[in-house]
Amino acid sequence: MEFISAIISGLSMGGTYAMIALGYTMVYGIAKMLNFAHGDVIMVGAYMLFVAIVSAKLPVWVGIMIAILVCTIFGIVIERLAYKPLRGASPLAVLITAIGVSFLLQALAQIVFGSEQKNVSALMINGSLKLGEVSIDYSTLVTLAVAAVIMVALTLFVKLTKVGRAMLAVSEDRDAARLMGVDVNFVIMITFIIGSALAGVAGVFKLMKSPAVTPTLGAMPGIKAFTAAVIGGIGSIPGAMVGGVLLGIVEAICLKTPIAAYTDAIEFAILIIILLVKPSGLLGKKRREKV
Amino acid sequence: MKDFLKNVKWKHYINYIAVAAFALIFGIIGLAGGLKGSTEYMLEKFAIAIILAVSLNVVVGFLGELSLGHAGFMCVGAYIGGKVASLLDKGADNIGVLLLAVMIGGSVAAVFGFIIGLPALRLRGDYLAIVTLAFGEIVRTIFMNTSSESFGGTLGLRTPRYDSSYLFIFGFILVLICLAVTQNMMRSKHGRAITAIRDNEIAARATGVNVTKYKLIAFTVSAFFAGVAGVLYSHSNYTVQSSVFDYNYSIEILVMVVLGGMGSINGSIIAATLITFLNLQLSTVLTGDLAVLKNLIYAVILVLIVIYNNAPALKHFRERYNLRALLDKIIKRKKDPSDQKDDEGAWDRVPTKIEMNELLSTDIIVTESVQDPDKGGKS
């Protein structure tokens, strides 16, 4: 019984991880860069929810809209100012810049809002669905349902629309796509817009479970969600979902056992093992190295 | 004798001389009792930061892989070295114990560096950076959850404190050893092989560089000196707490390397000293929420310097206006043809990157196991 309840609380964490991992995997798959600042865009979204709902006393749905919009704007600005000038430079340079941007967002948030935690309780959904002895929180159901809908929508978007197919082309071969008339910069910007909007949604998910907002809110979940994206196979949209849910379950089971203090270490160890044994992840494609 | 002095390449030794002179001046003042405790503490921190920055530069600047777990190696060194010292020594100043602690702490960190180097054979770039980050966090979590008898747990490990004026001199001797090892390695055949891997791994492998061996060497040497810096740290502070060695600390070391210039050892020395100095000064001025301004400065340094140094659009601008060109103008230095061979500060200016995609269109699947470790690299 305890095991099942651990899995259910894992699903609830897994939904958030899946949401973040979707954003990671989109950006990594198409722009070929590890957007370290992704987790911090979530934090920006959470602070926007705080500003809109608690400070400005706007309705919750307006707050959510504002948060997603601001995250999107942040995504565009970060991409234009920090990543676009480095297109064509060494991957190391892009990676270090991404770390810098992540630090920058955290520092700015702390300067603007202070380091003490803010609380947004309006998003909390109380109550749970009882199925016999098992009970599932409504927030878990909402998280999983929204994540699944977004996953399906993204898959369809990539497969069916013109922009989506351009994304696929860019992820496969950027130079060839450019020769075929794809506007690579535009496609990458669209990717960042989608990724950042997903980060905004992840911020909402985060506040549905716990109301605390701090400047480092997104850093750790961001890195862990990268683990989820790697488990599922980076670049694969369903993979991100699977990886996120799996990671959430592993985390919940670890937290229930005596080795709870080592939860982070175990998750990172899983990441290292997966990268060593099967770098393409569960659902990822194998990538060949071209000479 | 005169000819000998003329033939010595002074620019290769200028950093030893500068560091040694710096240590000597403060050493004499310190032994005469003229230094405040806070100054001695700052000098110890300088030595630690220089060793960390130079050793990280081996992996980031010369091998071209991002390591986000440098603080993790330092953590291993600090705990192991601190434990060795506290087991052997009960407070008395004993240079032998200190040396032993440095050797053991450094060696254990080097073993971990070797282990982390192994994934580096299969992974590159982003994935490897994440693996090193994960390693740092794992090490920290493990030391935090040890029992209080073994490594102190959350309270931290208490370590013997050495007489300061003598510890910073020891620290600067370690800096000189670190410089000698890394600098000579980078100017030797081994260093050239490591930079060749950075510039184009496949081309390096094709020309007979034993990629496996040199990647492991770079990671091991880098981790060894990070461990040495950790042992110094454990003797400089009374306690070692694992929460210090977090991701942010690794980034701080990375900022030193980026500010000094990737692949420039002299740059690392200057930047490490500068940032440590600013850190200690700012920590007294900026308190509370303002302390975060430090992180803001780091972030701005990282973003601006990397974009300035790497953005393809700024290539011409940067060739015309850079610190090196400015120096040349001031000193009116003649162009030395041997400059081209030297790695310092020039790692993105030497046109070594060949766009292989444009030359060949065949796909070759690179497998890691083709190479025989015994035969490779001897050509």
Domain boundaries, chain B: 10-287
Closest residue in chain A to residue B306, using alpha carbons only: A93
CB contact under 8 A, A275 and B119: yes
pLDDT band, residue B248 (cuts 50/70/90): confident
Give percent above pLDDT 90 in chain B: 32
Res B334: pLDDT: 56
Res A234: pLDDT: 82
Interface A–B counts its CB contacts (< 8 A) at: 154
> Rounded mean pLDDT of A219-241?
87
- Is 70 exceeded by the pLDDT of residue B367? no
Instruction: Find residues 2-31 of chain B whose CB sits inside 8 Å of chain A.
Output: none
Res B348: pLDDT: 47
CB contact under 8 A, B292 and A262: no
Res B51: pLDDT: 96
- Is 90 exceeded by the pLDDT of residue B110? yes
CB contact under 8 A, B306 and A103: no
Q: Encode A261-291: b = buried (16+ Cβ within 10 Å), e = exposed.
A: ebbbbbbbbbbbebbeeebbbbbbeeeeeeb
Residue A227 has a CB neighbour count (10 Å cut-off) of 26
Tell me: the pLDDT tens digits for A128-172? 777 777 778 888 888 889 999 999 999 999 999 999 999 999 988
Give percent above pLDDT 70 in chain B: 82
The beta-carbon neighbor of A272 closest among B134, B141, B296 is: B134
CB contact under 8 A, A114 and B289: yes
- Is 80 exceeded by the pLDDT of residue B331? no
The beta-carbon neighbor of B66 closest among A85, A92, A227 is: A92
> Rounded mean pLDDT of A87-114?
89
Res B345: pLDDT: 47
Two structure tokens written together for A53: 């709902």
Chain A touched by B286 (CB under 8 Å):
no
Chain A touched by B169 (CB under 8 Å):
no
Half-sphere exposure of B357 (CA within 13 A, CB side): 6
B199 CA: distance to closest CA in chain A (Å): 10
B301 CA: distance to closest CA in chain A (Å): 8
- Range of lowest pLDDT (A39-53, A80-94, A226-240, B158-172): B158-172
The beta-carbon neighbor of A276 closest among B119, B289, B364 is: B119
CB contact under 8 A, A279 and B122: yes
Q: B10-287: which CATH number, 3.40.50, 1.10.1060, 1.10.3470, 1.10.155?
A: 1.10.3470
What is d(CA B67, CA A117) in angstroms, rounded to the nearest whole number? 31
Chain A touched by B300 (CB under 8 Å):
yes
User: What residues in A contact B318, CB-CB < 8 Å?
Assistant: none
User: What residues in B contact A288, CB-CB < 8 Å?
Assistant: 363, 365
A1 CA: distance to closest CA in chain B (Å): 29
Two structure tokens written together for A14: 């897994």
CB contact under 8 A, B134 and A268: yes
User: What residues in B contact A258, CB-CB < 8 Å?
Assistant: none
User: What residues in B contact A101, CB-CB < 8 Å?
Assistant: 299, 303
Q: Which domains does chain A have, with CATH numbers?
A: 2-127+146-277 (1.10.3470)
More confident residue, B365 or B54: B54
> Rounded mean pLDDT of B128-157?
84
Res B175: pLDDT: 94
B63 CA: distance to closest CA in chain A (Å): 11
Residue matched to tokens 């109380």: A126
CB contact under 8 A, B126 and A261: no
Listed in sequence order, the DSSP H helices in A50-160 are 60-78, 91-113, 138-160
Closest residue in chain A to residue B153, using alpha carbons only: A261
A83 CA: distance to closest CA in chain B (Å): 9
What is d(CA A82, CA A84) in angstroms, rounded to the nearest whole number? 6
Chain A touched by B63 (CB under 8 Å):
no
Are residues B179 and B15 in contact, defined by beta-carbon separation less than 8 angstroms?
yes
A174 CA: distance to closest CA in chain B (Å): 12
CB contact under 8 A, B130 and A223: yes
Res A288: pLDDT: 57
Average pLDDT, chain A: 87
In sequence order, what are the residues at sequence separation of 6 or more whose Cβ sits closer than 8 angstroms to the Cβ of residue A274?
A230, A231, A281
Closest residue in chain B to residue A37, using alpha carbons only: B299
- Is 50 exceeded by the pLDDT of residue B347? no
Res B358: pLDDT: 45
Chain A touched by B66 (CB under 8 Å):
yes
Res B7: pLDDT: 67
- Is 70 exceeded by the pLDDT of residue B124? yes
pLDDT band, residue A34 (cuts 50/70/90): confident
What's this model's pTM, rounded to 2 decimal places?
A: 0.85
3-state SS, chain B, equals CHHHHHHCCHHHHHHHHHHHHHHHHHHHHHHCCCCCHHHHHHHHHHHHHHHHHHHHHHHHHHHCCCCCCHHHHHHHHHHHHHHHHHHHCCCCCCHHHHHHHHHHHHHHHHHHHHHHHHHHHHCCHHHHHHHHHHHHHHHHHHHHCCCCCCCCHHHCEECCCCCHHHHHHHHHHHHHHHHHHHHHHHHCHHHHHHHHHHHCHHHHHHCCCCHHHHHHHHHHHHHHHHHHHHHHHHHHCCEECHHHCCHHHHHHHHHHHHHHCCCCHHHHHHHHHHHHHHHHHHHHHCCHHHHHHHHHHHHHHHHHHHHHHHCHHHHHHHHHCCHHHHHHHHHCCCCCHHHHHCCCCCCCCCCCCCCHHHHCCCCCCCCHHHCCCCCCCCC
pLDDT band, residue B333 (cuts 50/70/90): low
Res B309: pLDDT: 85
What is d(CA A174, CA B284) in angstroms, rounded to the nearest whole number? 50
- Range of lowest pLDDT (B137-146, B212-221, B351-360): B351-360
Res B372: pLDDT: 47
CB contact under 8 A, A96 and B258: yes
Closest residue in chain B to residue A95, using alpha carbons only: B126
- Is 80 exceeded by the pLDDT of residue B371? no
CB contact under 8 A, B295 and A107: yes
Tell me: the pLDDT tens digits for B232-244? 999 888 788 888 8
User: What residues in B contact A276, CB-CB < 8 Å?
Assistant: 119, 122-123
Instruction: Find residues 68-107 of chain B whose CB sits inside 8 Å of chain A.
Output: 68
The beta-carbon neighbor of A107 closest among B144, B299, B307 is: B299
A289 CA: distance to closest CA in chain B (Å): 6
CB contact under 8 A, A96 and B360: no
Chain A touched by B251 (CB under 8 Å):
yes
